[in-house]
Structure formats: structure tokens, C-alpha cells
Amino acid sequence: MVVLMSLSLIGIIFVQAYFINNTLENEEQQFTLSVKRSLSFVSKAIEQREFDINSRRLQHYIQSGAVADTTAIKQLILYQPDDAKNETIIYQNGILEESFKIPSLFFDIGLDSVSIKRITNKRVTQIFENTDLDGGYAINSKNTYENIGRLSYLEKAQFETSTRDQFKNFPIYRRVPSSVVRKMLDKQLKEDGINIDFEYAIYDQDLATKVQSENFELSQNSTYGIPVFLDNDNQSNFKLYVNFPARKKYRMSSIWSVILLSMLFTSIIVVAYTGAIYQLIRQRQISQIKSDFINNMTHEFKTPIATINLALDAIRNPKIIGDQEKVKRYLGMIKDENKRMHAQVENVLRISKLEKNELNISKERVKLHDLIEDAVTHIELIVEDRQGYVKTHLNAEKSSVLANETHFTNVIVNMLDNAVKYSEGPPKIDVYTENVGNNIILKVVDQGNGMSKQVQKRVFEKFYREHTGNVHNVKGHGLGLAYVKRIVEDHQGHISVESEKGKGSTFIVKLPLIS
């Protein structure tokens, strides 16, 4: 199950990465097409601007009264008899070419003159009626249709062809100003949806010209170019280039929302997946801990129950029931075992109430040293029975704290009891206090078994006990230190542990002092 979920998550991440990469590539292609289309429009506009300017100069010159230097007439005449109608149709199509030599100062291109033609077209259709006269025919005019007009499209084509030839090697900066190129590019790029800063230049056979922006740099990877001022063979020495310094930023901004959403949803999936895996692992750990807890609690209750049963059986024995001393001894054992079971149940209930915030802990001013002395008396007999010791080193000058006497005494007892339990040999326990700032530090130091770094991280967790296989050398149910931590924190304190395997442990409690 976990493997399938992991593979699915990896697949989703790869699909998202592929989608983002594909979107970036498509956006790059679309951007390139838009830029090239804009450059194509600007290239044609620059050329058309040159034609329009020179055309206006030409028209102004001709309209000022210029006389053609040479004229040529080309005429086509067609006769078409129509016997059915007894008519003859004569069609005439004439073309008048007037050639003007325009002084070069009109164009400022360094030539003596420029030859320009004006073409006029005259079309005449005449219809004649045939009549029979003395054995011969006479033709009488019946209708005449005449049309005279300028062949402007021929003039335009001839003018553009002539202009391309004459301006081919003319300096580019005299054909189009740099400011005009910028204005045309800015307008066309915005119309095509490219609202981004740009740099431009026109190069003459890979050599920079004066027509360029200040910060233009020719880069093969980020510069777009197109020929400008094509000649009559569709060739040109000039090329218009444009690049975009903020291209990457613009490229990312165009799909940034898609990337953010993709990252957001992918992150949600990753977090959900991680949470699910964590919960599975956590549930497994809790299940194991609870199993250990139940097994240990069962073991803990089995011993006193068995002891009580044995004591009751002994008391029923006629030989024992008359011996008051033995009866008192067995009754004492029953009472002790009953108190032991009751203490275990109370410990579980205390933790449960703490979890539900139902444990009423009233606090009052107490001396921490008094609580320590009281707690030590609870375990002195056990320690002495095992030939150990408990020494106190109460060096703190101030020990007044706001605490619940009962619960905080239980905290200290639990730490001392923990030190006794985890000492295989005679327990050797030292209790220290000292003042640090406005706090009092309590240290419970033992020379017992110690614990690993991994165990130190979890020793205050509810139900947690260090795994030692199936052998439970130390009795308990993993609630003592969890209870200690909750009570200390409820007193606005802090508890930590320092330990090394085989060298003992030090439990450190810090509590705020009251004046």
C-alpha cells in the first residue's frame, strides 16, 4: 500500500513537472512567433515609410509644374465587324509614358538625378454603322466611349523598384531615424501583447550601425532578427534585431500563477501523503506501545493478585489461622499488595485526567527543599534495603515556588523511584538544587543503567518504555515520566534529561521562583 502511494506521488510530481516544462516551451514558441510577426510588420512599415516620403516629394515636384523630359506612346487598335447588326467596333488602348528626371536634392542620396515615370492610360471604344452607297460602303459614327486614367499601380511598382535600386547602398541612419524604429517597435509589440522593455538595433552585414538603442547587445540565444529594406531580388544587407533583457522574468510571470497553483496542490498532496505515512507509523508504534502496556499491566497485576491469593489461602489454613503473628503478617502483605494495585490505577487515572484537563491542581507557596526532603523519606527504606544511598545537596539560597504540594511531591518521588528502578546494583542517587537567575534548578543524578539518545527523545511520552526484548526486568507501565512532564509544565516549569548508556542519568527540572 505504501509503495503504491509512493509511486503515485512520484508520478504526480513528474506529471506536474512535465506540464510546467511543456507550458514553458509552448509559451516560448508563442512568444517567438509573436516577436517575429511584430518584426515583420515593422520591417514592412519602415520600407513603406521610405516609399511614402519619397513619393510625396515626387508628387510635389511634378505638381509644381515639372515638364516631362521624354514621352512615349504605345497604342493598340482592334477592329471588330458585326454583320448581324451591320456595325463595326473599333477599340483603341493607348499608354502614355512621361519620364521625369528629378534632381537628387529631392532625395538626398548623392546621385545627379533620379528618373521617374508617370503612366497614363487612354481607352476609346467607337461603334460605326455600315451604309450601302452606290455599290460601296460608308461608315457613320454611331457611339463613342472614352476612358482616361492614371495607372497608379504601375507607377507605384516602377517607383518602388527604382527606389530599391537607388537606395540599396545608402547609409541606414539616413533612411530611417533610430527614434522612428523604436516608436514602430513599441507600438507593434504592444499590439501583439508583448508589453515588456526591449533593446533594438539594425546591423549592416553583422556590423552595428547608428540605428540602435543604448544598451543593445547581440546575443544569438536571446536576440530575434529579420531582414529590412529588401532589394528587388529579396536580398538585404540590413537586419533589424530586437532582444528583451527581462525576458526570463516576463516568461515566468506569464505562467507564474499556474506554477504556484501546481506547487500548492503538489505540496498539499505531499503533506497529506507524509501525514498519512506518519499516522500509519505512529499508529503502529502506538499499537506496539499499548500492547506492551497491556502486557506489562497484566504482569504487574498478576503478581499482587497471586500474592493476595496465596496469603488468603495461608490464612484459611487451620494451622496458620490460630497464629496471630502470621495472620497479621499475611494481612499486612494483602494490604501492601492492594495499595500497590491502587497506586497503579491512580497513576493511570491521573494521566487520563491530565489529558482531559480535568485534574484540579491548586497551587500555593511552598519550599521546594521541604518537598524534596519529604520525597526522599518515601524511598529511603527501599534504597537502604538495596545497600544504596540518597544524598541531598540543597545549595539554592531561595527555594520558594508556587506549586501543588501533593502533585509536586509525586513528581520528585517518581524521579527518585525511576533512579532506583534503573540501577542494577545498589542505587546511588544525588539530589542537587541551585539558583539560576529567577529560577531554581533541581537535579536528580543517578549512577544507574543510563539510556541512549533515541530513548532520551521519547522517555517522557505516554506508555513509552525502552524495549529490552520479552524480559521486563524493570516493572512499570510507561506513565510515571509522562505524568512528571505534565505536572512540571503545569507549574510553568521545564524538565529535561541527560544520560549516557551505562553511566547513569540526570533529570533536570527548572521552576520559576516567587518572592
Q: Can you give the pLDDT at residue 151? A: 47
Q: Can you give the pLDDT at residue 472? A: 40
Helices of type H across 168-255: 172-175, 178-191, 247-254
Q: Can you give the pLDDT at residue 140? A: 58
Q: Are 34 and 192 in contact (CB under 8 A)?
A: yes
Q: Can you give the pLDDT at residue 487? A: 85
Mean pLDDT by 10 residues, the chain (515 residues): 71 76 79 88 86 73 65 72 78 71 54 62 75 52 60 60 69 85 90 86 87 84 84 82 80 71 80 83 74 61 73 82 82 78 68 59 90 86 85 93 87 86 89 94 92 85 56 46 84 92 92 90
Q: Can you give the pLDDT at residue 455? A: 86
Q: Can you give the pLDDT at residue 112? A: 53
Phi/psi at 408 (5° precision): -75, -30
**Within 13 Å of residue 292, how many CA atoms lie on the same side as its CB?**
23
Long-range contacts of 263-272 (CB under 8 A, 24+ apart): 266/12, 266/13, 266/16, 269/9, 269/12, 270/9, 270/13
Q: Can you give the pLDDT at residue 496? A: 93
Q: Can you give the pLDDT at residue 153? A: 58
* 250-274 as b/e: b if 16+ CB within 10 A: bbeebeeeeeeebeeebeeeeeebe
Q: Can you give the pLDDT at residue 131? A: 66
- Break the chain down into helix, strand, coil percent, rounded to 5: 50, 25, 25
Q: How far is CA 331 from CA 304, 306, 320, 321, 345, in A?
A: 13, 14, 12, 11, 21
Q: How far is CA 395 from CA 346, 369, 433, 511, in A?
A: 34, 10, 5, 15
**3-state class (DSSP) for residue 150:** strand
**3-state class (DSSP) for residue 143:** strand
Q: Can you give the pLDDT at residue 478? A: 47
String of DSSP letters for 486-501 = HHHHHTT-EEEEEEET
Q: Can you give the pLDDT at residue 231? A: 77
CA-to-CA distance for 45 and 191, rounded, in angstroms? 14
Taken in order of first residue, the domains within the chain and their CATH numbers are 2-52+170-253 (no CATH), 66-167 (no CATH), 257-350 (1.10.287.130), 361-512 (3.30.565.10)
CA dihedral sign, ordered 313, 315, 317, 320 = positive
CA-to-CA distance for 128 and 146, rounded, in angstroms? 15
